[in-house]
Amino acid sequence: MKLVSDILIIIVALLHFSFLYLEMFLWDKPRGMKSFRLTEEFAKQSKSLAMNQGLYNGFLAAGLIWGIFAGDAVKIFFLSCVIIAGIFGAMTVSKRIFYIQAVPAILALVVLLVS
């Protein structure tokens, strides 16, 4: 079960590295605007905010990868951060965020706690 848990955590980390890339580098490009359902005008106006948000997603991903080597307490902490961010994003921005961000982290946390 530890291997399954680590694989799920790596998947969550990879998702957050992809969010970093989308938010920091593709936010105002066609791929980024399509992914986040943005208008060109809004994307240009909010680009610096998105870059900051992307950086935070990178920190979450780095923390999850660190947890693979550091132990369960670190994994639990960073998975909990991802879950809270996903719930908050669902409440404030779009319900989709819950399914894209929080659900994979919830699954990883449940498997970690059961193993």
Domain ranges of the chain: 2-114
Beta-carbon contacts of residue 115 (< 8 Å; ≥ 6 apart): 1, 2, 4, 5
How far is it between the farthest Cα atoms of the chain? 47
Q: How far apart are CA 108 and CA 111, in angstroms?
A: 5
Confidence of residue 102 (pLDDT cuts 50, 70, 90): very high
Q: What is the pTM of this model?
A: 0.92
Q: What is the pLDDT of residues 15-73, one digit of tens each?
A: 999 999 999 999 999 999 999 999 999 999 999 999 999 999 999 999 999 999 999 99
Confidence of residue 91 (pLDDT cuts 50, 70, 90): very high
Four-residue CA torsion sign, 34, 93, 106, 82: positive
Confidence of residue 101 (pLDDT cuts 50, 70, 90): very high
- Sequence length of the chain is 115
Say what the pLDDT of residue 57 is: 97
Confidence of residue 103 (pLDDT cuts 50, 70, 90): very high
Say what the pLDDT of residue 113 is: 97
Say what the pLDDT of residue 47 is: 96
> DSSP states of 9-65 as a string?
HHHHHHHHHHHHHHHHHSTTSHHHHHHHT--HHHHHHTHHHHHHHHHHHHHHHHHHH
Helix, strand, coil percentages for the chain (3-state, nearest 5): 90, 0, 10
Say what the pLDDT of residue 112 is: 97
